[in-house]
Chain A
């Protein structure tokens, strides 16, 4: 079964607007971590934000925030005030406590920011 599901293959957003990228996950581990990475066309995976399963508050890092809804098993990424440089592929990933050595990734969402 897919551990991470990203249902939006591609999204367009106007510069300076906010965009929400969906991510749902599947695990029976009580302890896990959720990550978002950005991959520009150059190929490097850039870490954006982390949410632990026991964290009480949603994670924020600058213009990135993670909307964590544990009961719904969702961990959506919100990018506020989009910039042209935000155009990239975005991946949601999970690390489970039972397999703490690896990340399981979704298929990704391509974001294109329009001027």
Chain B
């Protein structure tokens, strides 16, 4: 039983570049979540998928952010025209309905 995996684990980019992160959930989980965590804070909810449908998006998710989950399996989170304020840990989690969310190792983004 493999857990949630995320790729890459670390990403360093220059301001203005686009970045894309990938999350592979636990195989039997139909719900997938993205969170953002800045230094010294708890994670904040960004968006959520049930199967392939994106059902909720936080106000934190500006127009530069887009997430997809084609075929209800893996998910990608893209940030366009990155800004220094985007530097954070991006965490992915998955769950079955009403059950515990299990998190991946996260992708740490640094925008120079």
- A residues near B (Cβ < 8 Å) are 4, 35, 37, 42-47, 50, 91, 93, 100-108
Q: How far is the CA of A100 from the CA of B55 in the complex (A)?
A: 12
> Across the two chains, which residue of chain B brings its CB closest to A91?
B42
Contact of B42 among A101, A102, A107 (CB under 8 A): A107
Could you say which of B11-19, B62-70, B72-80, B102-110 contacts chain A? Answer: B102-110
On whether the beta carbons of B40 and A107 are closer than 8 Å, the reply is yes
Q: How far is the CA of A37 from the CA of B45 in the complex (A)?
A: 15
Residues of B within 8 A of A50 (CB): 100
Nearest 8 pairs of A and B residues by beta carbon: A105-B42, A45-B103, A102-B45, A44-B105, A101-B48, A43-B106, A91-B42, A105-B43
Q: How far is the CA of A100 from the CA of B43 in the complex (A)?
A: 16
On whether the beta carbons of B43 and A101 are closer than 8 Å, the reply is no
